[in-house]
């Protein structure tokens, strides 16, 4: 991940876009403090990924709490429930 000053980003914007298009992530600083990040379109930020993982963990725990002490469904029971849901 490259770091570049705001002035450099302004003067070399086209080059930065090309680098980002090739998958690079660039942080822009002002007075030596990060103020912006340029990332390729379509990529998820680390914060979004962490939130998704946390949500999945919470869901897994909720499901485990609901099924505690119950017997697991057999393959035939799962198939029957799927077929019933299709009707």
Check whether residue 26 and residue 56 sit in a common domain. Answer: no
Express each pLDDT in 72-84 by its tens digit.
888 998 899 999 8
Express each pLDDT in 6-51 by its tens digit.
999 999 999 999 999 888 999 999 999 999 999 888 867 788 889 9
pLDDT at 43: 67
Q: How far apart (Å, rounded) are the C-alpha atoms in residues 23 and 38?
A: 10
pTM: 0.48
Range of the domain at 16: 2-38
Check whether residue 56 and residue 80 sit in a common domain. Answer: yes
Going from the C-alpha of 3 to that of each of 22, 38, 63, 76, the distances in angstroms are 16, 10, 43, 56
Residue 24 CB coordination number (10 Å): 14
pLDDT at 66: 81
How many distinct structural domains can be found in the chain? 2
Check whether residue 30 and residue 50 sit in a common domain. Answer: no
Q: How far apart (Å, rounded) are the C-alpha atoms in residues 85 and 79?
A: 10
Give mean pLDDT, residues 54-73.
Answer: 84
Q: What's the CATH code of the domain at 24?
A: 3.40.1620.10
Check whether residue 52 and residue 30 sit in a common domain. Answer: no
């Amino acid at each position: 991940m490259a770091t570049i000053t705001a002035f450099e980003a302004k003067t070399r914007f086209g080059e930065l876009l090309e680098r980002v298009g090739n998958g690079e992530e660039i942080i822009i600083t002002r007075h030596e403090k990060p103020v912006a990040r340029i990332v390729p379109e379509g990529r998820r930020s680390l914060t979004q990924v962490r939130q998704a993982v946390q949500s999945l963990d919470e869901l897994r725990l909720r499901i485990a709490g609901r099924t505690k002490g119950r017997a697991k469904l057999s393959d035939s029971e799962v198939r029957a429930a799927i077929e019933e849901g299709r009707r």
